[in-house]
């Protein structure tokens, strides 16, 4: 298996969610003073003797509207978004996955990938103590093939003859077996997952397909001088990279 994967990520920053929002400021002191004085002056004119019920009703309505206007503005924050202003702001979906590209120098092309970190940390003895995070990476290789890689920030996989079985479990379903394949460059902190062909015919492509409808994925793999360790991933929002 050719080792063309690189850690560089090419992403396009998303536009700020608040960029299209319409904002308004609170009224100034002069505008506030005017809102109070205008009804008072108008009331002083229309309530000149002789008083009449109609004039009293008009004056009371003006004062009530003025009070409501003041309460409404004073309770608003200094910047707010009004409905119907023509501005829309779509909520940014929360995802556990990182999407990017890796450059294939041999073929001169950029290859998209998706990766997700484990929810739990693995614990190893020194010199790999202090907690290790696992990462699951999906790399499309053509229309019907995906390369699936498993890596750890610290520690060594133990994928030798007789110790190649990797057990996977989606949600609370049935467990399946794949095998781990050591990296061509001799790196011990990552492996590729391959088809096991012992006892069942579950393939890597089945894993990618099942992940699209699953919420959680647990992977159990062998580690050097640390036995078999389990890594749990939240795959609920997986999308094809």
Which residues fall within 8 angstroms of residue 181, CB to CB, at 6 or more apart?
1, 159, 164, 191, 192, 193, 194
Instruction: Give the span between the Cα atoms of 83 and 88, in whole angstroms.
Output: 9
Report, as ranges of residue numbers, the positions in the chain whose pLDDT lies below 50. Answer: 1-24, 78-91
pLDDT at residue 184, rounded to an integer: 82
pLDDT at residue 216, rounded to an integer: 96
Burial 173-201 (b: 16+ CB within 10 A, else e): eeebbbbbbbbeeeeebbbbbbebeeeee
Burial 132-158 (b: 16+ CB within 10 A, else e): bebbbbbbbeeeeebbbbbbbbebebb
pLDDT at residue 164, rounded to an integer: 86
Query: pLDDT tens digits, residue range 146-160?
Result: 999 999 999 999 988
pLDDT at residue 42, rounded to an integer: 61
| 8 A C-beta contact, residue 26 and residue 217 | no
pTM across the whole model: 0.61
Angle at 176 between CA 172 and CA 178, to 5 degrees: 140
**Length of the chain in terms of residues written:** 241
**Could you tell me the two tokens for 7?**
């850690």
The beta strand positions in 5-122, using DSSP E, are: 97-104, 109-122
pLDDT at residue 143, rounded to an integer: 77
pLDDT at residue 141, rounded to an integer: 85
pLDDT at residue 79, rounded to an integer: 44
pLDDT at residue 190, rounded to an integer: 92
pLDDT at residue 234, rounded to an integer: 96
């Amino acid at each position: 298996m050719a080792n063309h994967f690189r850690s560089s990520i090419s992403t396009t920053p998303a536009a700020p969610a608040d960029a299209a929002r319409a904002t308004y400021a609170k009224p100034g002191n002069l505008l506030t003073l005017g809102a109070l004085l205008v009804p008072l002056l108008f009331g002083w004119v229309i309530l000149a003797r002789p008083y009449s019920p109609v004039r009293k009703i008009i004056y009371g309505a003006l004062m009530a509207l003025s009070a409501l206007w003041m309460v409404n503005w004073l309770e608003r924050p200094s910047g707010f978004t009004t409905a119907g202003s023509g501005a829309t702001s779509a909520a940014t979906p929360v995802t556990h996955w990182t999407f990017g590209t890796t450059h294939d120098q041999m073929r001169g092309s950029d290859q998209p990938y998706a990766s997700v970190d484990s929810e739990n940390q693995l614990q190893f003895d020194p010199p790999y103590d202090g907690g290790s995070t696992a990462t699951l990476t999906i790399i499309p290789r053509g229309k019907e093939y995906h390369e699936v890689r498993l890596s750890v920030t610290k520690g060594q996989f133990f994928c030798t003859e007789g110790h190649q079985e990797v057990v996977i479990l989606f949600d609370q379903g049935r467990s399946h077996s794949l095998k781990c394949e050591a990296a061509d460059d001799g790196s011990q902190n990552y492996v590729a997952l391959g088809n096991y062909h012992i006892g069942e015919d579950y393939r890597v492509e089945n894993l990618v397909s099942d992940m699209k409808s699953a919420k959680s994925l647990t992977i159990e793999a062998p580690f050097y001088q640390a036995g078999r360790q389990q890594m749990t991933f939240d795959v609920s929002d997986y999308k094809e990279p």
